[in-house]
Amino acid sequence: MIIGLDVGGTHTDVVLIGEDCILRQSKVPTNPSNLFESVWTALEEVTRDVPPESIRRAVLSTTLTTNAIAEQKMVEAAMIVSGGPGIDPECFRTGRHYFSVSGSINHRGREIQPVDPMEIEAIAALLKSEGVRHVGVVSKFSVRNPKHEIVIRDILGNDFENIVLGHRLSGNLSFPRRIATTYLNASVYPVHKKFFQAVQDSLQKKGLNIPIFILKADGGTMSLEASLNSPGQTILSGPAASVMGSLPFSSETDETLVLDIGGTTTDMAVLIRRVPLLDPVGSEVGGYKTLIRSLKTYSIGLGGDSTVRIVDGKLKIGPDRQGRAMAYGGPFPTPTDALFVLGKASNGDVEAARRGIQPLAEQLGMSLEDTANRIFDQACNMILEAAARMIDDINSKPVYTVQELLEGYQVKPKEILVLGGPAPYFAFRLAAMTEFQVHVVPQWNVANALGTGMAKNTCELTLFADTERGIAIAPEEQYYQQVKKDFDRQKAVDLAFKLLKDKCLQEGASESELEMEVLEDLQFNMVRDFYTTGKNIRIKVQIKPGLIPEFRDIAERLFNFCPLPGAN
Amino acid sequence: MLKTVSKTGLVFFPAFDWAIDPTHPEREERLLYTQDQVFEEGLLDIDGIVEYKPDMATIQDIRRVHFCAPDEWSVLTESHLISAGGAKTIGIEVMEKRVKRGFALVRPPGHHAMRVVHGSRGFCNINIEAIMIEYLRETYNIDRVAIVDTDCHHGDGTQDIYWHDPNTLFISLHQDGRTLYPGTGFCYEMGGATAAGTTINIPLPPNTSEEGFLYALDHAILPILEDFKPQLIVNSAGQDNHYTDPITNMNFSAQGYAELTRRLKPDIAVLEGGYSIETALPYINVGIIMALAEMDFSRVREPDYQPEKIRQSRETGREIERVVEEVLDCWRKGPETREKYLAGKPFVPRGRSIFYDTDNILETQKENLRVCGDCGGVLSIDSETDTGYHIFAVHIPRKACKACQEMGYQWYDSADAKIYHQIFLQDRTHDQYLVRKA
């Protein structure tokens, strides 16, 4: 049995998955001021009377780190950055404790200016005196040569609780994003650690000694232990949970647009033949552009509870939510109230909904039904327009080779999968308005928890080799090797795969999950004075996001609910 | 959050899978380190810098500028269409006012490609700036354009294309032709009979450093631009004046290029040459992008930058002052030179040899221009290569008068197909291009 648990903004969903169906499912209200309590309540409910040894794993997706950033409740980590020539690192200041220090590495990974140990010692002394316990260290081009980050950490010594080094978090280039990513990882570390320590302790106390996995923003999982090295990867895992849950119902041959229509927002993502599309650089969260690997998602302020009003004689929906729909006792009319007026929803106060829409109808000079239809259609159109913008954005991503430009691969989804509260109504209307095949994800109310439970491990690895300098490095893995002139692209790919496999197993993956693929594979002849002096090789490999293999083929059946005896 | 002052468009197309040959300076590796630096600096994340995917130029775009013999696909590859298309994309974004300025950081380059193309010369096959400019003229109704070529080599291709066009000011700033390929670009090369003065050459002595370049900019280029009043300024932003460039002898720097860009304020910059791929290009390109966006570039410099080490001598400075005087003199003499031609013979011939160093072809050209007081004048070109290929081409300029148009069609129709492999007509008044084969 597997537990999948997704903490959302309003509800926490949990499922207990058996061999080929859902054994238990539950929804408890999320208590934002005490997430642990919500998680624990949900876990207790779903594991009641279940023999601990029959639970293979539990996968959790939480808004813990996302909220910590949004509400500025994280510990402000100190940052030590060395830039060298280029944009002034002061432009990327993260907070009060931000130190731009000397030292410089160039694009080839060569040291231009060494670190000044006295400068770092002085900073260390200052931070200690101010009681700062968490530090991030970033140097420009550290993914080409991490020496300066390592030197700085060694000087800082053992006097700090946690020191995060930029090159360990991503192999991608971008000094400003590396700074932001390192800062977030260092800053959410304490809250992440405390939370999961509590979960683990409580489970042990209860005698449930089960492996815990955490869902990442890229739709993959990692073990709890691994998450302590990069808690930043859990930021924005929420949208990933629903997307993973919709995977079994998506087309195996075409591209799919996934719409998760919630109360406040509609989140969108794209699947390419059942594989979710990732953001090419990294996610953007709370105003920080990062190198955190994540699904390419897009969110608009439009949901079932969005406020509907008239502005300058025109109907306006969202982007704010002032409460629930009037049909459920809320203060303002919403698209959900329009559904009540149209008779598509009935489990609430229809009269209240009508009272909400009536003033809008009067201002527009239209009938109540026409107004409700207009609201509904406008909401659908807003979703479709946003989806078109997202797909445009994906398709206008620049490419850097003649071949890729000529091939001109374009994403063109043919179907839409809808999840969320008003999913069935929207699906029906969207189907009528467009050429898309539109489907509702069955059991959409627990699809997020199911997706969380079924997601497999994902990993990415970057390998950089420069045979003129005689080096091959995989910065994220602290891997460094001297190579000879005969080192080439094929050897580099083989090495990258080997390192990727080690990394995954370390992060708690099982052998069967290791579906490896090459994302980028470039080799350049380096020529100096008309002679070839070496090869410059850049490799990026990954484990594709997806569902754990044993569930992939039976995933559709899994969505059947076959309650355990004794379940509520 | 970092923000630009001016919204700046960028097409970055390093063509990582295209080379003239594996060890040629124009090879896959050329913009690799520039990409590393641009990505690592996070330039593409800056609010106000927008990256665009390049369009592909069309065959029609090329025919507006060039006579390709025997045809377009024989002298170019897809990579050239993307490079020209990238410049075009930036041009469109600027004209549509979606960005204030733009930079086409593309390869292969184009400023040595002349109107007639038999092959590749100076690593160039088609002139990417001219293709962009003529597309913009056709689409956006702009007339007066200035091109400022800051590549170290004389932009002889662009000069050739606009030699007879009084509405295009071409200014080339380069290392003295007596010391560097292509060996042309002297002050006295100042344009054809009807466009005398709108070609400006500023040959600088070897070892010119920042102060020399900026002196020429402030004392010659900016005043001449002020006089000419262009609607659009295009910068052919070659980067081989750098002190580490392997095939030239100048002492310019990333700071210098950025400062030049800041003062010149081009609407559009297009990358041309520059082969110090590791120690110069990454820093110059970052500097140019930030200067276009009007951001603070004071910390952008090469790791080994020591201004005092590359400073020009006093003799060099005096020589530059002398050249600038001569340039200004040529500029002032333009109108009277034109008057003299108009009062003279009705047709002006020009004969010359053109060597295609990259493809090893020698071309002999005989030009004939109608000296017209109403337009640039219709032009015919008789071109024969040492490989035995012989063409006849007629160019009717964009604003040709009725008489020149009629004469152009008459020349095209009456050319003897037995003498030539092909006969071309480029009618810019109707955006029409005709070919007759023997």
Read off the DSSP letter of residue A278. Answer: B
List the 36-65 stretch of B: residues with Cβ below 8 A of A.
36-37, 39-42, 45, 51-54, 56
Give the nearest partner residue to B17 out of A402, A525, A529, using CB atoms. A402
Give the nearest partner residue to A174 out of B42, B82, B246, using CB atoms. B42
Structure tokens that stand for B424 in this block? 């071309």
Structure tokens that stand for B124 in this block? 């160039």
Partner B contacted by A49 (CB < 8 A):
no
Sheet with strand A22-29: strands edge to edge = A22-29, A11-17, A2-7, A57-61, A212-215, A221-223
Most B CBs within 10 Å, among A142, A170, A400, A411, to test the B interface: A400
Give the nearest partner residue to A112 out of B22, B54, B303, using CB atoms. B303
pLDDT at res. A21: 83
**In the 3-class helix/strand/coil scheme, how is chain B assigned residue by residue?**
CCEEEEEEEEEEECCCCCCCCCCCCCCHHHHHHHHHHHHHHCHHHCEEEEEECCCCCCHHHHHCCCEECCCHHHHCCHHHHHHHHHHHHHHHHHHCCCCCEEEEEECCCCCCCCCEECCCECCECCCHHHHHHHHHHHHHCCCCEEEEECCCCCCHHHHHHCCCCCCEEEEEEEECCCCCCCCCCCCCCCCCCCCCCCEEEEEECCCCEHHHHHHHHHHHHHHHHHHHCCCEEEEEECCCCECCCCCCCCEECHHHHHHHHHHHCCCEEEECCCCCCCCCHHHHHHHHHHHHCCCCCCCCCCCCCCHHHHCCCHHHHHHHHHHHHHHHHHHHHHHHHHHHHHCCCCEEEEEEEEEECCCCEEEEEEEEEECCCCCCCCEEEEEEECCCCEEEEEEECCCCCHHHHHHHHHHHHHCCCCCCCEEEEEECCCCEEEEEEC
Catalytic (active site) residue B395: no
Contact residues on chain B for A405, CB-CB shorter than 8 A: 13, 53-54, 56, 78, 82
As a whole number of angstroms, the distance between CA B396 and CA B382 comes to 15
Specify the amino acid at residue B147. Answer: I
Distance from CA of A485 to the nearest CA of B (A): 17
Contact B26, B107 (CB under 8 A): yes
Q: What are phi and psi of B316, to 5 degrees?
A: -60, -45
B65-68 CB contacts, 8 Å cutoff, 24+ apart: B65/B115, B65/B126, B65/B127, B65/B130, B65/B131, B65/B134, B65/B161, B66/B113, B66/B115, B66/B116, B66/B117, B66/B126, B66/B127, B67/B115, B67/B116, B67/B117, B67/B381, B67/B383, B67/B391, B67/B393, B67/B424, B67/B426, B68/B117, B68/B126
Distance of CA B151 to the CA centre of its chain: 9
Distance from CA of B291 to the nearest CA of A (A): 12
As a whole number of angstroms, the distance between CA A67 and CA A32 comes to 9
Please give the helix or strand (H or E) that residue A190 lies within, else none: helix A175-205
Q: What is the pLDDT along chain B (438 residues), one digit of tens a residue?
A: 789 999 999 999 999 999 998 889 999 999 999 999 999 999 999 999 999 999 999 999 999 999 999 999 999 999 999 999 999 999 999 999 999 999 999 999 999 999 999 999 999 999 999 999 999 999 999 999 999 999 999 999 999 999 999 999 999 999 999 999 999 999 999 999 999 999 999 999 999 999 999 999 999 999 999 999 999 999 999 999 999 999 999 999 999 999 999 999 999 999 999 999 999 999 999 999 999 999 999 999 999 999 999 999 999 999 999 999 999 999 999 999 999 999 999 999 999 999 999 899 999 999 999 999 889 999 999 999 999 999 999 999 999 999 999 999 999 999 999 999 999 999 999 999 999 987
As a whole number of angstroms, the distance between CA B165 and CA B199 comes to 9
How would you classify residue B300: left for phi > 0, otherwise alpha for psi between -120 and 50, otherwise beta?
beta
Residue range(s) of every CATH 3.40.800.20 domain in chain B: 3-331
Structure tokens that stand for A438 in this block? 């539109």
Contact A468, A534 (CB under 8 A): yes
As a whole number of angstroms, the distance between CA A294 and CA A218 comes to 4
Contact residues on chain B for A108, CB-CB shorter than 8 A: 33, 278
CB within 8 Å: B16 and A529: no
- Does the reported pTM lie above 0.90? yes
Identify the CA nearest to B33 among candidates B305, B281, B258.
B281
Partner B contacted by A409 (CB < 8 A):
no
Most B CBs within 10 Å, among A87, A93, A288, A525, to test the B interface: A87
Partner A contacted by B226 (CB < 8 A):
no
List B112, B164, B242, B395, catalytic entry: B112
Q: Choose the CATH number for B3-331 among 3.40.109.10, 3.40.800.20, 3.40.350.10, 1.10.240.10.
A: 3.40.800.20
Most A CBs within 10 Å, among B40, B279, B298, B304, to test the A interface: B40
As a whole number of angstroms, the distance between CA A402 and CA B370 comes to 42
Return the biggest CA–CA distance within chain B. Answer: 68
A98-132 burial: b if 16+ Cβ within 10 Å, else e:
bbebebbbbbbbeeeeebeeebbeebbeebeeeeb
For residue B3, the chain A residue with the least C-alpha distance is A91
> Count of CB atoms within 10 A of residue A207's CB?
8
Read off the DSSP letter of residue A397. Answer: -
CB within 8 Å: B41 and A86: yes
Contact residues on chain B for A525, CB-CB shorter than 8 A: 22-23, 27-29
Pairs across A and B, CB distance < 8 A:
117
As a whole number of angstroms, the distance between CA B68 and CA B113 comes to 11
Partner A contacted by B388 (CB < 8 A):
no
As a whole number of angstroms, the distance between CA B221 and CA B172 comes to 9
Give the nearest partner residue to B39 out of A173, A526, A527, using CB atoms. A173
Structure tokens that stand for A341 in this block? 């007026």
CB proximity list for A486: less than 8 A, separation 6 or greater: none
Partner A contacted by B222 (CB < 8 A):
no
Specify the amino acid at residue A222. Answer: M
Task: Tell me chain A's radius of gyration from C-alpha atoms.
Answer: 26
Distance from CA of A412 to the nearest CA of B (A): 18
Partner A contacted by B363 (CB < 8 A):
no
CA distances (Å), origin A257, targets A225, A423, A447: 34, 14, 16
Give the nearest partner residue to A173 out of B15, B23, B36, using CB atoms. B36
How would you classify residue B195: left for phi > 0, otherwise alpha for psi between -120 and 50, otherwise beta?
alpha
ipTM: 0.94
Q: Which residue's structure tokens are 């997704």? A: A6
In chain A, what are the domain boundaries? Answer: 2-71+191-242, 78-187, 459-543
CB within 8 Å: A84 and B300: no
Structure tokens that stand for B415 in this block? 């050319």
Q: A14: buried, middle or exposed (CB in 10 Å: 19+, 13-18, 0-12)?
A: buried
pLDDT at res. A566: 45
For residue B284, the chain A residue with the least C-alpha distance is A86
CB within 8 Å: A107 and B22: no
Q: What is the pLDDT along chain A (568 residues), one digit of tens a residue?
A: 999 999 987 789 999 998 878 889 998 988 888 888 999 999 999 988 888 889 999 999 988 888 888 888 899 999 999 999 999 999 999 999 999 999 999 999 999 999 999 999 999 999 999 999 999 999 999 999 999 999 999 999 999 999 999 999 999 999 999 999 999 999 999 999 999 888 888 888 888 888 999 999 999 999 998 999 999 999 989 889 999 999 988 988 999 999 999 888 899 999 999 999 999 899 998 889 999 999 999 999 999 999 999 999 999 998 998 989 999 999 999 999 999 999 988 889 999 999 999 999 999 999 999 999 999 999 999 999 999 999 999 999 999 989 988 888 899 999 999 998 788 889 989 999 999 999 998 877 888 999 999 999 999 999 999 999 999 999 999 999 999 999 999 999 999 999 999 999 998 888 888 889 999 999 999 998 888 999 999 999 999 889 988 776 666 666 666 665 543 3
As a whole number of angstroms, the distance between CA A519 and CA A293 comes to 13
Contact residues on chain B for A107, CB-CB shorter than 8 A: 33, 36-37, 40, 278, 282
Identify the CA nearest to A499 among candidates A469, A463, A466, A530.
A463
Return the SS3 of A169: coil
Give the nearest partner residue to A104 out of B22, B56, B303, using CB atoms. B303
Contact residues on chain A for B53, CB-CB shorter than 8 A: 396-399, 405
Structure tokens that stand for A496 in this block? 């990258």
Adjacent-strand bridge partners of B383: B365, B391
Alpha helices by DSSP H, A208-272: 224-227, 238-246
CB within 8 Å: A174 and B45: yes
CB within 8 Å: A399 and B53: yes
As a whole number of angstroms, the distance between CA B115 and CA B118 comes to 10
Adjacent-strand bridge partners of A268: A259, A298
List the 255-294 stretch of B: residues with Cβ below 8 A of A.
278, 282-283, 286, 290
Partner B contacted by A403 (CB < 8 A):
yes
Overall fold of domain A2-71+191-242: Nucleotidyltransferase; domain 5 (3.30.420)
Distance from CA of B27 to the nearest CA of A (A): 9
CB within 8 Å: B16 and A396: no
Task: Tell me chain B's radius of gyration from C-alpha atoms.
Answer: 21
